[in-house]
Chain A
């Protein structure tokens, strides 16, 4: 039972591989940021690539915030569009320059807010507003079971959408009219005295905002609270029995997710240049949910990758499907407006039905750099296994000897019955020993293979 004493030596190498893979991941992320920066300075700013990158960064944040809730805490919430709306409006309302207010709020005498905040405080307040709404709605709604929660949050998002368009709140929300003239991504470009852009930052800035937010979410997930969230996802009843206050932790996850959805909404407002409550429909929530699913429910990396893929497909790579295409004189059939979305839907259904793990499953970026052999197990564990198998085999062989001895002894004393019993036992143990021998052979083979591979790796490195 308590034979194992190797834990220390086992834990050590594990830690080391984690560190190496973390460094490599950080390097990859840094390279991506550097590439974005360089691309922005060299390519024409009208390139579709930047549209994709800006929108992709925005969606990545929102998708990760949704994943925090749906994938990591197991709360099936469909209120994301509502919280984005709150964030987008809070940002817009707080940052429209005072001199533009008369112009924007033309039907409401310039509106009631007569100051403008800088971007960063406005972003944080946008998140806080969304979180505050989440807190209030979470009090009653989070007690509900999975699908009821989904429909209640969906309903909440619809209510928010209606309230923000209500004429009587126009002094604050501009009613059903657009909000505009607030700082957008393009305002982050640094201009020289002549009005020419000297340093392009309009793509890097959304990357930085989303990056910081996602990093915060990852830190949360790695903390004790993150573990508590995942425990709730895996088994609510067991989590509660282990002392986790369900209401409190669900509320925390809900508010944090909404906070970042709010910031994501503000980013969407910046990306779009104008914002209108009407656009934040349940279809938007579905879209984000599908991004999460394609990326892998329970993988932050997956959500990020699939956001960019999703946006790139819908804005760029699949655009050709919407136009008539001629190959020579032959007109490709089916291609016309809307076909892109059909193809897109079919791809999504295929992922949902046949690749339920999505792109990443529950893996994260550092997992990709961990040495792997034959799927799940790290290489070292093969050796361990081999060792263990050897030990087991030895034990079994010893047992076999002993039993044979007992049988012989029994036979000698002439106790036929006992001998029979012992013999049977011995037979079964012989089988076991046989098995153990097989296992030993296999283990040895495996070990040899592992060693061989290690050598080749070393050789390659040398």
Chain B
């Protein structure tokens, strides 16, 4: 029984960690700008494509990984400056539409550059290697992801709670206008938020695509959406919430993928129901349920509208 469930569980934890790294970008941006950054999933995908091209150019690993992260950060920064900053005082719907426009643009750019073909992701030594635990074969990345995720999240939480810029971020997310009046340079804070979010998405993309092997222009859409759901599930604006939500979604999704086999092995059923189809749908069903039952998510704060 354990042998049946374990591979799905392990993949689930790993995918959960990767979602967590993307979800943090969503939750931080939402916390500050009240914007669903629809382009975030595509930034994640672009990081994957960058890795493909940079590794193909023959640069060594210790240069190419930092380079990818640097470029991803730059992309996040530029997107914010070009597409969101001019709309700061516009209605929220306009900014969201702009985000959708950016997502569309990034996907089309990558389509143009790659010719719309699946690009195979480079093998990264060590984390691409196979490993066996409890008799289950998996890649090293599966074990590294949760550890790395936790380390990065702890670092981020420290940054937010202990540093000056972190304090500014907390202030801006509490009250945009007041913190502006208090002399906080909100544009800098927002830029830093986008840069942090993008770098984490970049790290996530290295881990995620090492697991999935190929990148195409639409690769970012699904993980992006799921990471957003994770952020909502955990309580949007809350970093620990996003991480917990991401792990729950990653694990559930992968267990559903294996549900037919697990049920069969457990002797509960003899036929296949094709339930694996529902692994994606599950995430969204979960989203709708949480929004109805507890719209603030697991760790979210309640916001009341003033009349």
Contacts and interface: CB of A to CB of B under 8 A. Distances in A.
B36 interface: yes
A338 interface: yes
B280 A341 contact: no
B97 A289 contact: yes
A446 B36 CA distance: 49
A152 B286 CA distance: 10
Interface in B214-268: 218, 221, 225, 228-229, 232
B115 A337 contact: yes
A141 B290 CA distance: 11
Nearest to B279: A162
Where chain B touches its partner, the secondary structure class is helix
Contact of A162 (B225, B228, B281, B287): B281
A102 to B, nearest CB: 23
Interface in B68-111: 82-83, 86-87, 90, 92-94, 96-98, 100-105, 107-109, 111
B116 interface: yes
Interface in B265-298: 273-274, 277-278, 280-281, 283-285, 287-288, 291-292, 295
Contacts of B102: 349
B287 A155 contact: yes
Interface residues of B, number: 50
Interface string A279-323: 000110011011001000100000000000000000000000000
A166 interface: yes
A162 B97 contact: no
B307 interface: yes
Contact of A148 (B93, B98, B104, B291): B291
Contacts of B36: 147, 150-151
A159 B108 contact: no
B97 A352 contact: yes
B34 interface: yes
B229 to A, nearest CB: 7
Contact of A338 (B34, B87, B93, B115): B115
A167 B274 contact: yes
A237 B307 CA distance: 8
- The residue in B94, B116, B221, B277 that gathers the most chain A C-beta atoms within 10 A of its C-beta is B277
A420 B131 CA distance: 98
Contact of A353 (B83, B113, B283, B292): B83
Contact of A156 (B115, B283, B284): B284
A297 B101 contact: no
Given A144-B291, A155-B284, A156-B288, A286 B86 contact: no
Interface in A190-227: none
A339 B287 CA distance: 36
Given A154-B225, A155-B229, A345 B109 contact: yes
Contacts, number: 131
Given A146-B92, A237-B307, A345 B228 contact: no
Contacts of B281: 158-159, 162-163
Interface in A213-253: 237
A336 B112 CA distance: 8
A342 B108 contact: yes
B291 A141 contact: yes
A21 interface: no
Given A151-B36, A286-B103, A353-B83, A341 B112 contact: yes
A344 interface: yes
B105 A297 contact: no
Nearest to B286: A155
Nearest to B273: A168
Given A140-B288, A159-B284, A70 B104 contact: no
Contacts of A167: 274, 277
A399 interface: no
Interface string A106-150: 000000000000000000000000000000010011011011101
B305 interface: yes
A337 B108 CA distance: 11
Contacts of B97: 289-290, 293, 352
A290 B90 contact: no
A287 B104 CA distance: 9
A336 B115 CA distance: 9
Given A144-B291, A152-B288, A341-B111, A348 B229 contact: no
Nearest to B34: A147
A186 interface: no
A344 B104 CA distance: 10
A2 interface: no
A338 B116 contact: yes
A151 B295 CA distance: 13
Contacts of B292: 140-141, 143
A167 B115 CA distance: 32
A297 B288 CA distance: 27
Interface string A314-358: 000000000000000000000011110110111011001100100
B277 A162 contact: yes
Contacts of B232: 148, 151
A76 B97 CA distance: 10
A166 B291 contact: no
A152 to B, nearest CB: 5
Most buried by A among B94, B228, B291, B305: B291
Given A151-B36, A341-B111, A345-B101, A76 B288 contact: no
A165 interface: yes
A158 B93 contact: no
Given A140-B288, A148-B295, A237-B307, A70 B112 contact: no
Given A141-B291, A168-B273, A356-B90, A162 B96 contact: no
Given A290-B97, A356-B94, 5 more contacts: A70-B93, A151-B228, A293-B97, A338-B113, A349-B98
Interface of A: 70, 76, 137, 140-141, 143-144, 146-148, 150-152, 154-156, 158-159, 162-163, 165-168, 237, 282-283, 286-287, 289-290, 293, 297, 336-339, 341-342, 344-346, 348-349, 352-353, 356
15 contacts: A147-B35, A147-B36, A155-B225, A159-B284, A166-B278, A167-B274, A237-B307, A283-B104, A287-B104, A290-B101, A345-B101, A349-B98, A349-B105, A352-B98, A353-B82
User: 8 closest Cβ contacts across the A-B interface?
Assistant: A155-B284, A338-B112, A345-B105, A341-B108, A162-B281, A167-B274, A140-B292, A159-B281
